[in-house]
Amino acid sequence: MSAAPVDRALLISVIARLLAGCRHVAVGVSSPVQGAGALLARELSGGTMRLTVLGSRRNNFFTSGGMETFDLAAQGRIDAFFLSGGQIDGRGNVNLVGTGDYPDTQVRWSGSFGSSYMYFLVPRVILFREEHSRRVMVPKVDFVSAPGMSDAGVYRRGGPHALLTGIALFMFDAARGRFRLASVHAGHTVEEVRDRTGFEFDMADDVGVTAPADPHHLALLKGKVRQEVGETYPKFARDLAGAL
């Protein structure tokens, strides 16, 4: 297994690119990398993109947090959101409950909260997890907190758009109900991705390297974006400064 460290500047830059063209992006709690990526995307949009970061005072226009987030999602006024999970499978299913047969789960996690609700209603859901291992990227999740696909006839606006990890970027093919390996981060290989992924995925004959953060992205990360994300995640901002 490669010992290459996670390049968070790269992850933030990739997230910003995935959010291009969005009108309103919402970021949940305990999401510093996703929040920094959304802040970078807002800067790259010239400030036209609206951003809501739950847990922030400066970048949160809500007075009741999750309730208002859900309300806007139901109205079709949130274009992108982020989900993660203790387990993620090749159909885009997410498990936030725990491992083992429910309700006798061997390990318990935080719980599903509104993950399924947002997954159904937000058009561009980006799955994010830095750890890329077979204990996370599984053939089938033990519990479906939020389904990646729905049966025919089920009304659904949202679903998985991409899966970003510490070693690779996948895009989701809704027609096939599978992920496609889009690129591998520098310092990692396709063989490593295969070895560390528990589910099957599609890929081109020649998978490229994920584009690095360009100088403009890095300048924004060192300056305004780091300052903005530091209001909610001060330690993350300090660590990011050291990494840059």
Quick one: pLDDT band at residue 61, thresholds 50, 70, 90? confident
The tokens describing 25, both together, are 């992006």
pLDDT at 92: 98
3 within a domain of the structure (yes/no)? no
pLDDT at 62: 81
Give which of 43, 16, 24, 27 is closest to 81, Cα–Cα. 27
Q: Is the pLDDT of residue 104 over 90?
A: no
Q: Is the pLDDT of residue 1 over 80?
A: no
Q: Which domain holds residue 90?
A: 8-243
Domain count, the chain: 1
pLDDT at 2: 45
The CA dihedral of 109, 112, 174, 155, to the nearest 10 degrees, is: 170
pLDDT at 118: 97
97 within a domain of the structure (yes/no)? yes
pLDDT at 80: 98
User: Percentage of residues in the chain with pLDDT exceeding 70?
Assistant: 98
Are 128 and 147 in contact by the 8 Å Cβ rule? The answer is no
Residue 65 bridge partners (DSSP): none
Q: What is the CATH number of the domain that holds 236?
A: 3.40.1080.10
Give the count of alpha carbons within 13 A of 41, CB side only: 27
- Report the predicted TM-score, pTM, of the whole model to 2 decimal places: 0.95
Q: Is the pLDDT of residue 192 over 90?
A: yes
